[in-house]
A and B are shown apart, each in its own frame.
Chain A
Amino acid sequence: MNAPLIGQSIKRKEDYRFLTGGGQFTDDVTLAGQAHACFLRSPHAHARIRGIDTTRARAAAGVVAVFTGDDLARAKVGGLPCGWLITGTDGQPMKEPPHPPLAQGKVRYVGDHVAVVIAETLNQARDAAELIEVDYESLPAVVQAADARKPGAPAVHDAAPDNTCYVWALGDKAAVDRAFASAGHVTTLEFINNRLIPNAIEPRAAVASYSRADDAYTLYVTTQNPHVERLLMTAFVLGLPEHKVRVIAPDVGGGFGSKIYLYAEETVLTWASRQINRPIKWTAERSESFLSDAHGRDHVTRAELALDKSGKFLAMRVTTTANMGAYLSTFASCIPTILYATLLAGQYTTPAIYCEVTAVFTNTTPVDAYRGAGRPEATYVVERLVETAARELKMDRADIRRRNFIKEFPYQTPVALLYDTGDYDATLTEAIKLADVAGFEARRKEAEKRGKLRGLGYSTYIEACGIAPSNVAGALGARAGLYEAGEIRVHPTGSVTVFTGSHAHGQGHETTFAQVVADRLGMSIENVDIVHGDTGRILFGMGTYGSRSIAVGGTAIMKAADKIIAKGRKIAAHLLEAAETDIEYERGIFKVAGTDRKKTFAEVAFAAYVPHNYPLDKLEPGLNESAFYDPTNFTFPAGSHICELEIDPDTGQTRIVNFTAVDDFGKVINPMIVEGQVHGGLAQGIGQALLEGCAYDKDGQLLTGTYMDYAMPRADDLPFFKVATRETPCTHNPLGVKGCGEAGAIGAPAAVINAIVDALGPLGVRDVEMPATPERVWRLIQSANKK
């Protein structure tokens, strides 16, 4: 019997190939006879296409084909679908204007797809794309969410003349209004949750091929969920049977949400590969990534918290305008609603909450889930309000939180969630200790002597992961299931291959999932291989998003393992000539209870495949089981983040000196990997707070379209993080796990901004916009000094 593997920081199985150049990313795939694609993109944010002349491009050297929106329309290629239907407060379904993969009649954002050129070489495709003449009639554009519904704003879509996709609400408005009317104190904030550009370091890419021999397609693509990609593309856009399309997501270089969606490029490539009967490759240039990867966040919010004089929260009222961009991306509609308003209770017992969300179209890149997806925006609302209220009521910021923490579970929030478990007090206490909050005032004074402004900020967040169950999500508008599938194939000599519908693009599933299976089946981790990312090999899957992989995908695998063990028990009973009920199983050993008679897992596996001594009359040979798992509830990771920083008042430069994160992810399978996930999330959260901000000019030109203009967090922008975990196991999955992928990005922005406000509080500053760039901070200090 092998030692337990759960909870061990086992080194990653995938690292050797990545460290030696052996990773196989989509752009590394080269197929015989492959041609290359270049997409011609709109230079206008909004324009009518009066005509497209492709004559010169078609005649250019090496060009194989040129296609435009008209070609796709003639071939009856459909629009890119949205996977979640939101029903508005008026009872009407959201507006879903068509989203053609290549523009038809109009372009609606800079970067919108106008035509594709396919040529023998990439350079020939690029050169020919420049020869396409598009006759544009430029139209006025609407860019900012706050402007979209103003009278006279240009309409992005005829189907939504007021640019409104939906107006949606959650909560008891009357109860909230009553609580506000009699509240002892009301804290109000207005802010923008800044638009972010995901920037996975691997650009999106696709290689599509068509085989006449079997009338089938193969698509290599940078996706987080190959089965979802296939389902959406075949059933909704191309009208192909699913069994004729194989989608392979090989090694994928980061996703952060941006690779969940069905995009125009791979859809067009798949269709075109049959038209030209050749494989076609496309890889985004970074400038294309900036323009066309779905962006994140972009909320304009007014938020109010009603409290009594003792600091007890009475009600919260939130009004948000969410920018959808020019078209509805795959899951865009559910992010500022189902994944946002439902999180506004945070860790608190606020009895009444009302949130109204208006989703608008603008002439900008589509906006969809980006690491955290709705939950960072909700946490920012709650944690900025709480800390501002504490300051206004002159209460200790930890005390006001403790006074309002949920302490009894399960807990039904007024915004539709049922928290199963947690211990918010414990995570906060540990974070306060780790961050040495007790010593902070002394450090602040010491910093003052050096002319620096030092601040400390908290953020106690909650998230909801593993969106579920499918029937509840369906009632809320989901157009897909939210389960996960897994299969365990035991080989005759006892090693196993595990097939999972989850997809890893940095999360380390090849190690973590192998730990889970090896631990359950009592074998060495070397004898377990994890296969993911191929619809041709894996039975089904919903892929990876929303920190769901271990909680949902891991549970599906556990269920398959339990079926393996159940069958193994029958085989062992036969081999040991005992009753099945007398067989005990523990980590790889089948044993007759109370005796020393036993069979190892490998012996049982061998008997299943070489069934000479086997109950063939009662049991099929072989040992191969699959399972689908549909969770009964969300999981609720939660934690406490504390940020300590210093501001140089002369330059406005903010330096994070300490960042502490204590998170409760339930059971932890591999602490090393979990800590790594937290680090990465924190960097993105700190990036949002201090550095990253997508900017358009008033005409809709993207101003932050390169790494010279969009500030990515670099190694010298960040400190070492202090990270710890506490554990209240999830009550409704067998592993007790909750998920950890997004926590850092959810908790960090509010902690950073709260710390800046703490540092600048003595100057009278009560808010600072994200990203808190040196210029913004410097201006705040200057205007405060003038007062």
Chain B
Amino acid sequence: MGIAVSMTVNGKAAGADIDPRTLLVHFLRDQLRLTGTHVGCDTGQCGACTVHVNGRAVKACNILTVQAQGAEVVTIEGISRDGELHPMQSAFRDHHGLQCGFCTPGMVMNAIELVQNHPDPSEDTVRAGLEGNFCRCTGYHNIVKAVLAGAAAMKR
């Protein structure tokens, strides 16, 4: 019943024999123990499971692991380098863009892609771009500030 998958996750080769119905998020969490990617809703609305697949922000609860066959996958664990935070991570910290921290990894991963597509986003662009990521703690106020500041920092 198993099916072999292999991909690159955070720059390292990863592979396993998995149940074909395994979602990417469960492969990352259960097989690779990359538990920074969270499951908040199972139905593709909350965005806590957002990772990058071949450079695009993808909700990992909404695709099968086999769909990422051969792909480059980056999770929240893979965006800081040598202990130094990615500018978007730093911006979230500096602007208090997180409280309980559960939505944060998905929020950061989506924000990075948002800025890649809109290097100089307006407040409205950020708010629209975060529409698929729920946060129950912050009222989005400081998240939006963080993404705007992160966008500026990513230019530098």
Contact = CB atoms under 8 A, between A and B. Distances in A.
Interface stretch (A174-182, A246-254, A575-583, A765-773): A246-254
Contacts of A283: 39
A706 interface: yes
Contacts of A19: 76, 85, 89, 92-93, 98, 101, 104-105, 108
B101 A683 contact: no
Interface string B36-53: 111111110110100000
B138 A679 contact: yes
14 contacts: A12-B93, A15-B92, A15-B93, A18-B101, A18-B104, A21-B37, A21-B75, A28-B35, A123-B19, A201-B46, A253-B103, A675-B96, A680-B138, A716-B131
Interface string A20-51: 11111101101000000000000000000000
A690 to B, nearest CB: 13
Closest 3 CB pairs of A and B: A21-B36, A253-B102, A18-B101
B40 A14 contact: no
A20 B80 contact: yes
Contacts of A681: 139
The SS class assigned to the B binding surface is loop
A585 interface: no
B35 A203 contact: no
Given A12-B96, A18-B101, A718 B142 contact: no
Given A18-B98, A19-B104, A718-B141, 14 more contacts: A25-B38, A27-B35, A30-B33, A200-B100, A201-B40, A201-B102, A201-B136, A202-B102, A715-B127, A715-B130, A715-B135, A720-B123, A720-B144, A720-B145
B149 to A, nearest CB: 13
A714 B29 CA distance: 26
A312 interface: no
Contact of B43 (A707, A714, A744): A707
B139 A683 contact: yes
B84 to A, nearest CB: 11
A695 to B, nearest CB: 18
Contacts of A720: 123, 141, 144-145
A87 interface: no
A410 B133 CA distance: 45
Contacts of A253: 38, 40, 100-103
Contacts of B122: none
A482 B114 CA distance: 46
A593 B97 CA distance: 46
A715 B131 CA distance: 6
Contacts of B41: 286, 707
A104 interface: no
A25 B33 CA distance: 13
Contact of A676 (B75, B77, B80, B142): B142
Contacts of A508: 99
Counting chain A CB atoms within 10 Å of each CB, the highest count among B38, B102, B103, B136 belongs to B136
A673 interface: yes
Nearest to B135: A201
Contacts of B89: 19-20
